[in-house]
Structure 1
């Protein structure tokens, strides 16, 4: 069982892996690296995408998360050899776990149901039994759910004049804002934010804690690494050397990227205004501790740094939500949208399709 996953678009045939993306499928990279026979089955996670397939003889399951579905793997064991019989293994992927599902599609996934012209809900079943809320468990959850509702709707004293979009495969106003928050909070030269660390947009208007939490749900602390200009350039190259096409948010920097994802996507990196990075000068870079620990593929740079150049809690363990709230209050309670233009592109307008 691993907090690493992948994504397979088609669950109809567990032996057909042609719909499974390999670009950032950490769980498949792990399986490729293990000797055959090391594991009998894998329960994956992290990506919140569905999987229910055999890779070699190893069944791998993953669901979309939030307890909306379950995957089932049935393993048959030879009683004499005490080994799994791979040919008899069965997978049932992403079985909906709701009290009701749509009669036609069999799903309770709100995102999918929104796209359907008509929805007719019927009682759901799981492994042949009707799904019903547990009468003893439900009352136990009431007080916890009420506390959560109170926290969700609690005003934080900040206003966003316009919606702040997070971006992912493009520069976004919210990403730029968070990068600015990191840089200002640590009084650093540069701020860097990974797009996967921001999970929702912020709407216009008075903000609640629930909206801030949805945007920044992880308890990452603000960290600072001190890098030479050469190391900072390499950090940005690693950040964009993936097949997902994700774009990191930056503050104090300007990036030029190849429009198409790939290992050589980063073309140039300068300070704001186009000033080149000095190769041997040291720059203080504020970023989430997830990145400072080598997350999102940055380990080749961060893992090689001496301990004195990595500070995982420079501001008393301030997490990203607290940093955003403090920054907004210092700005008079208004979260203005930073201008776009920190990331520029070059290259072809349409990227070639990669073979599966």
Structure 2
């Protein structure tokens, strides 16, 4: 048997330099505990590199920057790249969030500029086509050697990135089908004598039982379509994955630096293929040792942003969460979503408000709530706008949720509605009424007879997440930043403030329209 190679895989860090407010539940043991930050992560990665006598490669599968807490975002994510540079990465692939501030800013972080040194490792992606040049934005793959056998790493980024980023940020790019793009690389790699292939994939799925349980959604489809791939290092869906699709090992760690993947592969020196592959998801517990050089980067970022982030805005009576942290009902309603939608409606004076659950990136902690905490909820920098929609357009907007799973429904304020499920992905809106849940307010009818002022963020207003009904909004007015609205709103609430699930969205097996 050939050399044993270790792959230490990172994914979906999203600029989380510290473990503040984060917990992790080990999917193998059920243990739950607080999480250490990137200095602890660095110590664990270095320890595992030292402990393995053979080749060890550190790789990432995207979304390392973007959607970051204030201590990273206010410094343009530069501390995050400096941390990654210290980890000795071999290669990474971009996720959708790396494009959140636009292509020029992303390339500045990668290549350097404005006094920043850039990153010291390459990115690869086979399916991002740069239209002005007609070539892939980054090399599609990287080849290295281990124990005399070549290993090829191919990158691929979720093809829905244009829907997942603010319109206009990736206009010069085409995101091709991941399977087609990866498959096109295989003859080139074979011609170079490369038969051991690892896919760094910014796309993922959901797995209920680890290890070895079935994984759903697109990573399953992609892996099943590419049996030549020995290992898929997945990302994007923020779920832990450890399983096989056919003979292909699929691994994905929990987001925000809660854990990393440790994959062990053996290479067959006769065929050059991956003979065996297995691994584990390694928790980054808060009681672990911290690496001083990485801790110094984190401390500098915290100090540089402390004046802005440390200002106390209000006091929360409890931990307020969205669906991202398991706080949503089956219909997608969450306390944090309700609070944010209420803030948007109060600031704009609109009849109703809608906000996307994917935009809420962190929970609000119990106790003193700082500006930095609220920034962590809304790090994307969206503006708040209001526009006029007809009743028919509101019905169309809610119907467009059909493409998302239940818990991905829009957060709402100023109306409540009932939804009849068809299957696990969505269903049919059967009733919409103005006002709080529990009160039979005036119905919003699916016609153009009534017009309503609607508050949304700029991402949704531009058709983000595929909500194209909002592109027809009339009489558009800006109201400053979405974050500013949340900060000002919670500061006006009774202290301590709270938010709750109020049955604003209800699933019915039987329609109730009378």
More divergent stretch after superposition (268-277 vs 142-151): 142-151
Per-residue CA shift, 1:227-264, capped at 9, x if unaligned? 44323213213326644445532122221134785422
Offset at residue 214 of structure 1 (A): 4.2
The structural deviation recorded for 1:224 is: 5.0
Instruction: Confirm or deny: 8 A CA contact 1:271 1:277 kept in the other structure.
Output: no
Q: Partner residue of 2:253?
A: 63
Does 2:328 match 1:168?
yes
CA contact (8 A) 2:230 2:249 kept: yes
Asked if structure 1 preserves the Cα contact closer than 8 Å seen for 2:333 and 2:501, the reply is: no
Q: Report matched runs for 1:288-299 at 5 Å.
A: 288-295=457-464, 298-299=465-466
Are the aligned partners of 1:224 and 1:287 in contact in 2 as well (CA < 8 Å)? yes
Q: Return the match for 1:302 from 456, 459, 468.
A: 468
Unaligned runs of 5+ in 1: 99-107, 111-120, 124-131, 349-356
Work out the CA distance in 2 between the residues paired with 1:263 and 1:55.
27
CA deviations over 1:283-337 (Å, ceiling 9, x no partner): 4432234434555xx51x418946x8697x9335x1x322211334566998565
Q: Secondary structure in 2 aligned to 1:11?
A: coil
2:514 maps to 1:314: no
CA contact (8 A) 1:241 1:266 kept: no
TM-score (normalised: structure 2): 0.47
CA separation in 2, counterparts of 1:266 and 1:134? Answer: 53
Match of 1:48 in 2: 238
Determine the structure 2 residue equivalent to 1:126.
none
Give the structure 2 partner of residue 221 of structure 1. 383
- CA–CA distance in 2 between the matches of 1:200 and 1:141? 19
- The aligned residue for residue 454 of structure 2 is 285
Q: Distance in 2 between matches of 1:176 and 1:163?
A: 14
- Alignment correspondent of 2:273: 85
Q: 1:11 aligns with which of 210, 222, 236?
A: 210
Q: How far apart are 1:64 and its partner, in Å?
A: 0.9
CA distance in 2, matches of 1:315, 1:154: 23
Question: Quick one: structure 1 residues 267 and 94, their matched pair in 2 at CA, closer, same or farther if it must change by over 3 Å?
Answer: same
Counterpart secondary structure, 2:261: strand
Work out the CA distance in 2 between the residues paired with 1:226 and 1:182: 15
TM-score (norm 1): 0.64
1:49 shift after superposition: 1.7
Contact 2:397–2:470 under 8 Å retained in 1 = no
The answer as to whether partners of 1:154 and 1:208 remain within 8 angstroms in 2 is yes
* Distance in 1 (alpha carbons) for counterparts of 2:203 and 2:404: 16
Measured at CA, do residues 42 and 182 of structure 1 come closer, stay the same or move farther in structure 2, by a change above 3 Å? farther
Query: Which residue matches 1:192?
Result: 354
1:159 and 1:206 in contact (8 A); partners too:
yes
CA distance in 2, matches of 1:328, 1:161: 12
Note the C-alpha offset of 1:63. 0.7
Matched, 1:256 2:418: yes
SS for the counterpart of 2:339 is: helix
CA distance in 2, matches of 1:196, 1:48: 12
Give the alignment's Cα RMSD to 1 decimal: 4.3
- What do the CA deviations read for 1:158-186 (whole angstroms, capped 9, x no partner)? 34567756441264443222112223434
Unaligned 5+ runs, structure 2: 1-60, 62-156, 158-201, 436-440
Counterparts of 1:57 and 1:293, CA distance in 2: 42
Partner residue, 2:444: 276
Aligned residue in 2 for 1:353: none
**Normalized per residue, which structure has more strand?**
2
Give secondary structure in 2 for the equivalent of 1:192: strand
Q: Distance in 1 between matches of 2:470 and 2:362?
A: 33
Q: Which residue of 2 aligns with 1:95?
A: 282
Deviation string, structure 1 residues 138-171 (Cα, Å, up to 9, x no partner): 3343322334566554212x34567756441264
* Residues 336, 63 of structure 1: alpha-carbon distance in 2 compared, 3 angstrom cutoff: closer
What CA deviation, in whole Å up to 9, does each residue of 1:104-140 have, x standing for no partner? xxxx3x7xxxxxxxxxx8x8xxxxxxxx643444334
Aligned partners of 1:241 and 1:261 also within 8 Å = no
Equivalenced residue count is 298
Quick check: 1:168–1:247 contact (8 Å CA) kept in 2? no
Q: Which residue of 2 aligns with 1:114?
A: none
1:143 counterpart = 2:305: no
Shift of 1:202: 3.7
Q: In structure 2, how many angstroms separate the alpha carbons of the residues matched to 1:6 and 1:39?
A: 17
Alpha-carbon distance between aligned partners in 2 of 1:30 and 1:11, rounded to the nearest angstrom: 20
Q: What's the counterpart of residue 155 of structure 1?
A: 312
